[in-house]
Amino acid sequence: MHTREIIICICLIAVACVRYLFFLPAPLPYGAFVNKSVTFVGLVSEYPDIRLNNQRITVTPSGYESNILVIVPKDQYIFYGDEVRVKGILSTPENFITNTGKEFNYERYLHNQDIYFIVDKGDVEIISKNNGSWLIYKLYKLKEVFMKNIGSVISSPNSDLANGLILGARGGFDTETKNEFISTGTIHIIALSGYNVTIVAESVMKMLGTVFSMMLSLWIGILMIILFVLMAGASATAIRAGIMAVIALVARMTGRTYMAGRALVIAGLLMIAYDPRVITDISFQLSFLATIGILFVTPKVIGWVRFAPTQFKIREVIATTISATIMVLPLLLYSTGILSIVSLPANVLILPLIPLTMLASFMTGLFGFVSYSITLPFGFIAHLLLSYILGIIHFFASLPFASVTIKQFPLIGTIILYILIFYWVFRKNHKYLIKKEIE
């Protein structure tokens, strides 16, 4: 890095420290009311997280910046911007043990969203509507209608997968299906992170590159990312994933990998400066590592997949998938304790079809705004592709050796693995890096 870039990084780190110490929202002063019945008025500040059996709404009490998570029945219609009166028993989030034996830090996960208390089975009364940001309200309404358009043509669980691919929504899946995604190492395709966005956008771009010019393919890829971010409601997580994906796309298409590496570091520090807590967010960590893998590991592994056809850039798509998987694997082992044995074949069979599946699903939702009959052919194609993806995942998950659980994968082991990976990736590029710095 040049001196100017080093100074920028130092300044961003300093800003992050100051924000963490002095400018993060303070917890709500409700500690004395834990395990007691409370009543408060607040604003629904996020899109409702609709699960299989209930929905979770984030409510910001009047006069405060921090939030309370309220769990209500699934059939009660509550939306962003509603002013509500909530009554229920107040509790604090508690960490829990997952089915792999790992402790999930649920408290930190919610604190990163400025949520410090929970009201389970809350009694919610809507006082007034449309009190939030006009732009965010319209985006969330667009998202809601878009998902309904898909659901009117494609049945569940295929529609749930379509919403997961395009919007990162995975609340509609039952526990068994979620476990199948995890055990096959394919959960990333429905997780709102730069991991899946980058892989999907790059796959689309590479395939379009066989027909259109490099620059046009790049712009189409970036347009898809922007549409994804907007359809996801332009949330902080979606924007973060979009930034990571755009950096990877521009770098891969222009060949300026090492310049993109610098941009990636600065972009990551910008996100940390805005909210220092993001550094503990698993979505941010996976996005960052997957982007590094796509930028720097792909040239290393492209020779491993000479057996794959070059038509529609399938070879590069497979190499990109392997590269991202290599970079995120140690973190996934540490955080989830699951080593998927079938991850590579499952992803290789699925990912080349993800762009087409997303396109068909997107067109289904889009043309739903125009006419139901127009959506039918797109919905039929999307249904077939979604059935294929779910079928592949179910097949590999049913194998007795699909995954191995490692309950206590040590932090030191994770660090050692990343040291070895980075050494392997960059050791032969040392002279090249010096040459680039001189240039």
The tens digit of pLDDT for each residue in 171-195 reads 678 888 888 888 888 887 776 655 5
Mean pLDDT, the chain, rounded, equals 83
Rounded distance, CA 246 to CA 209, Å? 16
- Cβ atoms of residues 287 and 244 within 8 Å: yes
Distance set, CA 408 to CA 96, 97, 335, 341, 390 (Å): 15, 12, 10, 18, 30
Rounded distance, CA 158 to CA 164, Å? 10
| Range 314-338 average pLDDT | 84
Task: Give the residue from 320, 329, 314 showing the smallest Cα distance to 299.
Answer: 320
Rounded distance, CA 291 to CA 298, Å? 10
pLDDT given for residue 12 in this prediction: 87
Q: Is the pLDDT of residue 438 over 50?
A: no
Q: In this predicted structure, which of 47-61, 190-204, 267-281 has the lowest mean pLDDT?
A: 190-204
- CB atoms inside a 10 Å sphere around CB 27: 15
Q: Which residues have C-beta within 8 Å of that of residue 220, sequence separation ≥ 6?
A: 204, 205, 208, 212
Structure tokens at 128: 């007034």
Structure tokens at 100: 């792999």
**108-111: long-range pairs with CB below 8 Å, 24+:** 108/280, 110/69, 111/277
| CA-atom Rg of the chain in angstroms | 22
Question: Token match 């893998």: residue?
Answer: 293
Q: Is the pLDDT of residue 6 over 60?
A: yes
Q: Where are the domains of the chain?
A: 31-132, 149-438
| Range 261-276 average pLDDT | 83
CATH architecture assigned to 31-132: Beta Barrel (2.40)
pLDDT given for residue 319 in this prediction: 85
| Range 25-32 average pLDDT | 85
| Range 125-129 average pLDDT | 95
Rounded distance, CA 272 to CA 268, Å? 6
pLDDT band at 200 (very low <50, low <70, confident <90, very high): low
- CB atoms inside a 10 Å sphere around CB 439: 5
Question: Token match 């699903």: residue?
Answer: 361
pLDDT given for residue 435 in this prediction: 46
β-bridge partners, 1: none
Q: Is the pLDDT of residue 123 over 80?
A: yes
Q: What angle do CA 237, 331, 389 make, to 5 degrees?
A: 70
pLDDT band at 151 (very low <50, low <70, confident <90, very high): very high
Q: Is the pLDDT of residue 212 over 80?
A: no
Question: Token match 């039952």: residue?
Answer: 174
β-bridge partners, 49: 56
Instruction: Return the higher-pLDDT residue of 121 and 192.
Output: 121
Structure tokens at 237: 């997580």
pLDDT band at 434 (very low <50, low <70, confident <90, very high): very low
**Would residue 230 be called left, alpha or beta, if left means φ above 0 and alpha means ψ between -120 and 50 degrees?**
alpha
Of all residues in the chain, what percent carry a pLDDT higher than 70?
87
Instruction: Specify the pTM.
Output: 0.78
At 333, the amino acid letter reads L
Rounded distance, CA 388 to CA 363, Å? 19
